[in-house]
Amino acid sequence: MKKEINKVLNFIDLHKGEENKRKVIENITSSISFRGSNLWILACAILIASVGLNVNSTAVIIGAMLISPLMGPIVGAGFGLGMYDFELVKKSIKNLLIATFVSLAISTIYFYASPFKEAQSELLARTSPNIYDILIAFFGGLVGVIAVTRVEKGNPIPGVAIATALMPPLCTAGYSLALGNIGYFLGAMYLYAINCVFICIATFIIVKFLKYPIAQQLDIRREKQVKYGITILIMLMILPSIYFAYQLFVEKSYRLKTEVFIKKEFTDHDYPIIYKRIEYNSNPKKIELAFLSKKFNNEEISNLNKKLIDYNLPNTQLLIQQDTFNISRDILNKMNSSKDLVDKKDIIINSLREQLSEYQFNNEQITDESKVLFPYISSLVIGNYSYKNAQNTKIIPVVLYQSKKELDKEMNHKLKSWLKIRLAKDSIEVYRQPFK
């Protein structure tokens, strides 16, 4: 039994493949300083990350994280604490503060000068940290410091840079300063602090486990002060993040309940919804809907609001937009601008179902022809779709076809070209209506 246990311990032994400790310390010490090339690399990485957040490009943000040198002083601080080398700790913190200040300054200037001020989803994701961010930072830090102490560094280092994500929170804080949004700034800086602290703590644990040489012998009292300080720092980071995680859970739960309410009261009754917006942070909370053709009187709306309690949606108001003229006029603008709309094709298809009855072609012959030319098509309906804008009313022939599988790009182009010639129209829209 003891032999089996020794085999397991030998299998997971972290000392295997370990780099010479003196060489690791030298490498860590040299990566701390933000002077010359390191400062230029940091500045370029911050600009790249800011552009990525500005245009909502995940790939660009990942690229910036890969070239960022911010991990150096954080890991250095962890090594300093683990070895009780307080000079190394001071040097690491000093350089981290320099890097943080430079990053904030550059990102603030960029976002202040940028003509695009809208907060994109990648940016907003860095304003509300929670307990999961702590787990990512801690285990990412563990992987990072284990890789640093190996002879063969391997692939983990780039992955750690991406997972722990030090650059985006700093750029988000710069965006917040440029726009004067204190709430976003505090959230972003809190996420940055979480990443720094828990990478440092993960480093401290591995340094202690691998028994790196102690720089100076501490008395028991001073050693306890260090441990108490780390414990207090952990609690200061964890407690708010648990609260934020709970708030996130409550919000997700609320949105799930609203979807159940909408499905049972509207979707299951075949009322096509063309607009949906849920305002969770308002008081009272609001569910705003617009329907393609269904009209609700005041009594029905009042009864629906009363039903919100049955779905465990207290302090919530249901608002139904019923100005069909404005909805028809703005439907295309809403499709392009609102993040809460249903799929664009679904909107157009639902709209066409209602309008085709008024603008129906006598298209039996065309349907028969299409089945010969395009065997995959089982049925085809053609109608005129009209919509109004500020200048005029446009009427476009629209084709809805049914098929078991969607036509490929080439066949779809042929179908469209044939219909243009067959109907003698310059412009035409073609959509597939899937089988139910």
Same domain? For 113 and 199 the reply is yes
Same domain? For 69 and 176 the reply is yes
DSSP 32-83: T---THHHHHHHHHHHHHHHHHHHT-HHHHHHHHHH--THHHHHHHHHHHHT
φ, ψ for residue 12 (rounded to 5)? -105, 10
Total of domains in the chain: 3
The answer to whether residue 230 sits within a structural domain is no
Residue 307: domain span = 252-337
The CATH number assigned to the domain holding 364 equals: 3.30.300
Identify the bridge partners of residue 320 per DSSP, sorted by sequence position. 289
Same domain? For 144 and 89 the reply is yes
Long-range CB pairs of 289-297 (<8 Å, 24+ gap) are 289/262, 289/318, 289/319, 289/320, 289/321, 290/320, 290/321, 290/322, 290/327, 291/266, 291/320, 291/322, 292/327, 292/350, 292/351, 292/354, 293/324, 293/354, 295/322, 296/320, 296/322
Say what the pLDDT of residue 325 is.
47
In the listed set 337, 369, 403, which residue is the last one of a domain according to the structure?
Answer: 337
φ, ψ for residue 91 (rounded to 5)? -65, -40
The answer to whether residue 43 sits within a structural domain is yes
Residue 380 near residue 363, CB atoms below 8 Å: yes
The answer to whether residue 300 sits within a structural domain is yes
Task: Tell me the mean pLDDT per 10 residues along the chain, length 436.
Answer: 68 76 87 82 89 85 81 88 88 91 92 84 78 85 85 65 77 91 89 89 89 78 80 83 81 89 86 81 85 80 89 89 57 49 53 52 69 77 65 71 77 82 78 66
What is the tens place of the pLDDT at every residue in 183-196?
A: 889 888 988 988 88
Same domain? For 72 and 150 the reply is yes
In the listed set 217, 232, 261, which residue is the last one of a domain according to the structure?
Answer: 217
Same domain? For 169 and 47 the reply is yes
Same domain? For 321 and 294 the reply is yes
The answer to whether residue 224 sits within a structural domain is no
3-state helix vs strand vs coil in the chain, percent to 5: 60, 10, 25
Residue 400 near residue 379, CB atoms below 8 Å: no
Q: At what angle do helices 21-30 and 131-148 cross, to 10 degrees?
A: 120
Nearest-CA neighbor of 426 among 400, 396, 383, 389? Answer: 396
In the listed set 337, 365, 392, which residue is the last one of a domain according to the structure?
Answer: 337
Say what the pLDDT of residue 339 is.
44
Same domain? For 333 and 187 the reply is no
Q: What is the dihedral of CA 404, 409, 414, 416, to 10 degrees?
A: 80
Same domain? For 204 and 153 the reply is yes
The answer to whether residue 46 sits within a structural domain is yes
What is the tens place of the pLDDT at every residue in 338-384?
A: 444 445 555 555 655 555 444 455 567 777 777 777 777 777 777 76
The CATH number assigned to the domain holding 81 equals: 1.20.1080
Same domain? For 42 and 170 the reply is yes
Same domain? For 36 and 180 the reply is yes
Q: At what angle do helices 71-82 and 86-113 cross, to 10 degrees?
A: 160
Same domain? For 182 and 89 the reply is yes
User: At which residue do the structure tokens 């012998």 appear?
Assistant: 217
The answer to whether residue 313 sits within a structural domain is yes
The answer to whether residue 229 sits within a structural domain is no
The answer to whether residue 124 sits within a structural domain is yes
Same domain? For 209 and 280 the reply is no
